[in-house]
Structure 1
Amino acid sequence: MDVVVYSRYDSPEGLDVYMHILQLVTTVDEGIQSIVQYPEDGKQTWEFLCDLTCRDLCQPGDPPLIVQEQKTILSSVLAVMSVMFASQTEQEYTEIGKNLSLIGSLTRILENLETCQKKNKDNHVSDGDGTQDKEPEEDSHLQILRDVCCEFLSNILSRLKKENIVTALKEGHITEEKSLCALRNLLPLYAESVNSFVEVLGEADETMSQTLKKEISVLGEES
């Protein structure tokens, strides 16, 4: 499969079409195998999508509401990457140690989603006239993005080993703030992945691990 290089600055429409086709391909086993069974093709596809996620879309300098503009393309990109990452064909390019920056990117998307959804909710309430209106249409698309993002992040967290976490802490991909955001979004659905991450985190940073365990307890009481 040839990888066509796009960015949000070149051809947004072309990128949307390309990602839509790629996502459709990966909805069936034959499609995902056609990508991952050839290491070089899979590597090119993965690196292209990783560059979009970590270096192009939803960057640290972007306003949180950028997810409104990028929600469709982000959902497609993350859905394809999640399928590739979870596939039974283990490839060097999907090794967790080579993809720690994805943790920071995914948690940043979740942080922006929280901000965006809160703003949408506040605007919906302030514009209301006391009647029960439907939620804004954007909410459904943002929810899809959140679901895809959470599934992908949970798979990544479940594979982390102590040495991965030590590196991610040092490079800033894992912080207490980002971890708390992950907990808020992943629990209770992905409790197994969260608990696995927190336990391994304890081997690298006991203080942060204890903080997260307390937050898990609080979130459990609120649910």
Structure 2
Amino acid sequence: LFLTCLSQADVAGTWVERFRKDPSVRENLCFIMSSSTNVDLLVKVGELLDRLFDMDEDLMLAWIRSDCAPRETSAVTENEDRAAPLEMVSCLLEAAKQLRSESPEGLEIYMHVLQLLTTADTGIQAIVQSPDGGEQTWDFLLDLTCNDLCQPNDPPLIVQEQKGILSSVLAVMSAMFVWRAEQGHKVEKSLPLISSLAQVLENLEECRKKCPESDAREGPDARHDNSHLQILKDVSCEFLSNILSELSKDSVLQGISLGHITERRCQCALRNLLPLYSTSVGTFLAAVGEADRSLADKLRRETPVRAEQT
């Protein structure tokens, strides 16, 4: 019923205002996400949040602001026996975990809700300032990306089917990665993402080769698909450039030994990152030069970028 009301432009604003004034709505939705095992109900709640947050950023910020509030460490007194509000981010994550194997469509909705949070600084802070520093969210998204989405044995056209969830997941992780790098988190934990991002970019390249006729079609569906594929490429390139720019000689050596950094993947990265991310590529090639001179020489012969020797 709520979704139906929000879909009607003449009354949607009234309902949003009611939600904003009644804190029990937020608490009830969080409770459902954190405790329900009803797949259909969780999907509907996700759709409602997706619609609400997309319509009204102020409401989204109000509902997640408590996640960023300083947590009291003093003992609870007899007059302070009320439970603390449920955290929106942890509840979203719990629902996503529940839907991971039950409803790919529902999982995609929750990933888009998380992506909406990252469009505001307050939302990013809510994700990374959870009690565990965002580790559960990062680990879940990392596992989802590396083990479920766009796998090496999947046909390249899988990227068409997964473009929505991939764009959302990678956008959230990209925003988190920047914060994690600033906080001194080790980049080595992100090495598997080099494989995954290169796989996404290779699949996008193959998709373009196998479906050239889609570029010539004029229908709205074709334009919509092409737009989303371009968004996925942009998100993937930005994320990959951020990772590569943080690599040191030691992390490159580890990436090579684990099979995440290979000549083929590096070539794919250079094809897609240049010329827009030439600075990141130059930094990466400098680190590769220290770790594996032969690989660096091969890559430099294929790119106009010259990394400074250190």
Q: Which band: TM-score by shorter chain?
A: 0.7 to 0.9
Identify if the C-alpha distance between structure 1 residues 107 and 39 changes in structure 2 by more than 3 Å, giving closer, same or farther: farther
Find the residue that maps to 1:40 and give its secondary structure.
coil
1:100-159 deviation line (CA, Å, top 9, x unaligned): 1111111011011100111121x448xxxxxx6538332211110000000000000000
Contact (CA 8 Å) 1:8, 1:57: kept in 2 or not? no
In 1, Cα distance between equivalents of 2:297 and 2:127: 41
Equivalent residue runs for 1:1-223 within 5 Å = 1-2=89-90, 3-4=93-94, 5=97, 9-40=101-132, 42-87=134-179, 90-91=182-183, 94-121=185-212, 123-124=213-214, 133-134=217-218, 136-137=222-223, 138-217=225-304
Show the counterpart of 2:67. none
**Higher relative contact order, structure no. (Cα contacts within 8 Å, ≥ 6 residues apart):** 1
Q: Cα RMSD between the aligned structures? A: 2.0
Report the structure number with the largest CA radius of gyration.
2
Find the residue that maps to 1:217 and give its secondary structure.
coil
In 2, Cα distance between equivalents of 1:101 and 1:190: 21
In 1, Cα distance between equivalents of 2:100 and 2:132: 25
TM-score (ref. length: structure 2): 0.64
Contact (CA 8 Å) 2:164, 2:228: kept in 1 or not? yes
Identify if the C-alpha distance between structure 1 residues 199 and 22 changes in structure 2 by more than 3 Å, giving closer, same or farther: same
1:188-223 deviation line (CA, Å, top 9, x unaligned): 0000000110111011111111111111129xxxxx
In 1, Cα distance between equivalents of 2:200 and 2:217: 27
Identify if the C-alpha distance between structure 1 residues 89 and 149 changes in structure 2 by more than 3 Å, giving closer, same or farther: closer
1:38-87 deviation line (CA, Å, top 9, x unaligned): 25151111111101111110111111111000000000000000001112
In 2, Cα distance between equivalents of 1:59 and 1:111: 11
Letter in 1 for 2:275: P
Contact (CA 8 Å) 1:103, 1:153: kept in 2 or not? yes
Query: Identity over the aligned pairs, expressed in percent?
Result: 57
In 2, Cα distance between equivalents of 1:148 and 1:172: 23
Letter in 2 for 1:70: Q
Contact (CA 8 Å) 1:37, 1:89: kept in 2 or not? no
Contact (CA 8 Å) 1:8, 1:56: kept in 2 or not? no
Identify if the C-alpha distance between structure 1 residues 115 and 190 changes in structure 2 by more than 3 Å, giving closer, same or farther: same
Identify if the C-alpha distance between structure 1 residues 8 and 192 changes in structure 2 by more than 3 Å, giving closer, same or farther: same
Identify if the C-alpha distance between structure 1 residues 30 and 165 changes in structure 2 by more than 3 Å, giving closer, same or farther: same
In 2, Cα distance between equivalents of 1:43 and 1:55: 18
Contact (CA 8 Å) 1:74, 1:145: kept in 2 or not? yes
Unaligned runs of at least 5 residues, structure 2: 1-88, 306-310
Letter in 2 for 1:99: S
Show the counterpart of 1:129. none
Identify if the C-alpha distance between structure 1 residues 11 and 85 changes in structure 2 by more than 3 Å, giving closer, same or farther: same
Find the residue that maps to 1:184 and give its secondary structure.
helix
